[in-house]
Amino acid sequence: MRIEEILYTQGFGTRRVCAGLVQQGFVRVGEATVGDPGEEFEVQGLRFTVQGTEWAYQEKAYLMLHKPAGTECSQKPSTYPSIYTLLPAPLRQRPNRGAVQGVQAIGRLDQDTTGLLLMTDDGQFIHRMGSPKHHVPKVYEVGTKHPIDRSQVDRLLAGVVLDDDPKPVRAAACEAVADLHLRLTLTEGKYHQVKRMLAAVGNRVETLHRSCIGPLALPEDLAPGQWRWLEAEQVEALRNARAGQPANRVDR
C-alpha cells in the first residue's frame, strides 16, 4: 500500500495532508525517512513514525479505555469533557465510510461512572457487542450508601421490576464483597440500570465502576484516562463472549 494511503487510513489527515507529511520528511519507517508519498509498504506488522509519534498499522482499531469520573461518552458533551479528548488525534480521525469519523465507544457509561470502556471503528464489532441477543456479561463494582444484606442480593438475583418495564430485570451474578461493596454482573444494558436496580431493593449507588466486559478485565496497571490497544486474542474472545460462559481472563 502507498505510504500516503497508509497514513490516511490510520487517521493522520486527508490524503493531501498525508502526502505533505511525507514530502516534508516527517515520516520514518524503521531508521529511514520516507520522501515519496507513492512508496509502497507491506502493511502487515508495519510500524512507522509520524512527526515523532510511533504508530503500528491497524486495519481496524480496537482499544480499551479506563474511563475516569467527570467525563462524558459523547462526541458533543453537554457539561463534562468528552472521553474522546483522551485519545490521540489519529484515533479520532480514522476515516469511516458513511459514518462518523474515528473510533466510537461501545455503549456508554455515565459521567460519574468509571472503568472499562471498549472503542473501535469496526461497525460489525460494535453491533455484535451491543446486540441484546448475545448477552455479553458486564461486571460492576458498586459502592452502596447502605449496608448490603442477604435479602437485597436474593432480590437482585430473582429479579426486580423497573418503572419502565413490567418484565423483571435479573442480575446474572451478585456478590456482597463487603458491607458497602456489591459486585454485580449484568447481561442487559438498560438506562441507569445498576442505579435503578439498587433503588428497587431499597439501597443507593454511591460509586460505580465497570471492571469486566465478557472475558476482558480492566488491567490494574491501566490508570484512569489511559487507553491501550486490544490484542487479537482479546478481540476474538470478546467476539465469542456469551452469558454463562466461563470468564477465561484475557486482560494484559
Q: What's residue 189's pLDDT?
A: 79
Q: Cell for 205?
A: 449507588
Percent of the chain topping pLDDT 90: 81
Q: Catalytic: which of 36, 110, 112, 251?
A: 110
Sign, CA torsion 34/36/37/42: negative
Residue 142, φ and ψ in degrees, nearest 5: -110, 120
Confidence label for 248 from pLDDT (cuts 50, 70 and 90): very low
Read off the pLDDT of residues 53-110 as tens digits, 9 standing for 90 and up: 999 999 999 999 999 999 999 988 889 999 999 999 999 999 988 778 999 999 899 9
Read off the pLDDT of residues 167-182 as tens digits, 9 standing for 90 and up: 899 999 999 999 999 9
Of 28-32, 135-139, 159-163, 188-192, least confident by mean pLDDT is: 188-192
Alpha carbon distance 189, 26 (integer Å)? 45
- Contact indicator for 94, 10 with CB cutoff of 8 Å: yes
Percent of the chain topping pLDDT 70: 95
- Contact indicator for 187, 135 with CB cutoff of 8 Å: yes
- Contact indicator for 44, 36 with CB cutoff of 8 Å: no
- Contact indicator for 244, 220 with CB cutoff of 8 Å: no
- Contact indicator for 15, 8 with CB cutoff of 8 Å: yes
Read off the pLDDT of residues 211-225 as tens digits, 9 standing for 90 and up: 999 999 999 999 999
Q: What's residue 241's pLDDT?
A: 82
Alpha carbon distance 127, 245 (integer Å)? 20
Active site residue 110: yes
Q: pLDDT at residue 131 above 80?
A: no
If you average pLDDT over every residue of the chain, what do you get? 92
Q: What's residue 244's pLDDT?
A: 52
CA distances from 210 to 76, 99, 171, 235 (A): 23, 28, 14, 18
Q: pLDDT at residue 250 above 60?
A: no
Quote the strand ranges of the chain, DSSP E: 27-29, 32-33, 47-50, 53-56, 62-67, 104-105, 114-120, 138-144, 160-162, 165-169, 173-178, 181-186, 205-213, 216-217, 227-229
Q: What's residue 243's pLDDT?
A: 56
Alpha carbon distance 162, 171 (integer Å)? 13
